[in-house]
Amino acid sequence: MRYPQSIPFISLTLALCICLGYSNAHAQQGVWDSAKKGSKKINAQAKKSKLTIKRWKEHINEWAKEDEYNKQLAVGGKLNNNGWSGGIYYLKKTEPGKHVIWQLSFSEIKQEKQVKQQKENKAYPALGKSSPFVYGKINNLYTLHIGYGHELLLLPGVVSGNLSVSFRYGAGFSLAMLKPYYLKIVHINNTSAHPTPELKEEKYSGANADTFLRNQDILGASKWSKGLGETRFTPGLYAEAAFAIEPAKQKGFVQTIMIGGNIAYYTKALPIMAEVKALPWQGSLFVGLSLGKRWK
């Protein structure tokens, strides 16, 4: 009895199919095993992270519970990249490692391009000595911030169990104050037979822009109080964030180093320099120090 010639071909095809099926099943099993291993690894890492966070929270709570003081009042100063600030801070503990903050601060804002200069008065000695002045300055800018915020303890006792690092953030009302900047400007009186120099104290305006910005005719700046009654007020809002570093652990006397920044936006532009575009917002980076007292 003769078998058809196609039987060897069919047998070979079946064998190949069986091999491929086994290979695919083995590969799928390998992929599934890898996925299960990866999932287990991710779950293990997630559990480890949760455990670390839990332990860290417990460490913060234990460290903060040792602090028997609930309130704090401090005064301090800041050096800004565009001026200086002084402020009062009141903190009240809401729970271990957390405080609410009320803040009142006053700042002088300077334009980065302003440079104080002084020259000798050789041309008009009869008018007196010259005084320092800022060329092109038209207003002194001051701001008053009244705000509310929070303080969160981040790193308790990081150095010898003493140094702690907290994060502060807050926002509130801001009031910008623009006081005109007066200069002593020399004018030549040509109405008499012999022209004589006269000294006038002037603030910047569109009408006197040429004389106000003529450096050779400026004898100096007027007294700071000149123009105080002409101060203009512009309201706005501000936000601030900073890291607070406290070297001493839970003592009645508190000293805090602050590193951060703030930004404020106002309803009008705030001109400081005549030849620099005025903007309705101000931003600054700062480093500061505050000293105060804690109590229960």
What is the pLDDT of the chain when averaged over all its residues? 84
> So what's the pLDDT on residue 60?
61
pLDDT band at 125 (very low <50, low <70, confident <90, very high): confident
For residue 51, is pLDDT > 70?
no
For residue 3, is pLDDT > 50?
no
The token pair at 42 is 């991710």
> So what's the pLDDT on residue 24?
55
For residue 1, is pLDDT > 50?
no
| Amino acid at residue number 125 | P
Share of the chain above pLDDT 70, in %: 74
Q: Which residue has the higher pLDDT, 244 or 62?
A: 244
pLDDT band at 189 (very low <50, low <70, confident <90, very high): confident
For residue 251, is pLDDT > 80?
no
Instruction: Identify the DSSP state of 56.
Output: H
The predicted model gives 132-150 an average pLDDT of: 97
- Per-residue pLDDT tens over the stretch 63-113: 555 567 889 999 999 999 999 999 999 999 998 889 999 999 999 999 988
Cβ burial of 112 (10 Å; 0-12, 13-18, 19+) is exposed
Q: What phi-psi label fits residue 128: left (phi over 0), alpha (psi between -120 and 50 degrees) or beta?
A: left
Tell me which fold the domain 69-295 belongs to. Answer: Porin (2.40.160)
The predicted model gives 8-36 an average pLDDT of: 55
Task: Single out the residue of 177, 207, 136 nearest to residue 270, CA to CA.
Answer: 177
- Per-residue pLDDT tens over the stretch 199-238: 999 999 988 999 999 998 899 999 999 999 999 999 999 9
Residue with tokens 């490692």: 97
Q: What phi-psi label fits residue 158: left (phi over 0), alpha (psi between -120 and 50 degrees) or beta?
A: alpha
> So what's the pLDDT on residue 194?
75
For residue 52, is pLDDT > 80?
no
Q: Which residue has the higher pLDDT, 182 or 120?
A: 182
> So what's the pLDDT on residue 39?
66
Would you list the domain boundaries of the chain? 22-65, 69-295
> So what's the pLDDT on residue 2?
47
For residue 175, is pLDDT > 90?
yes
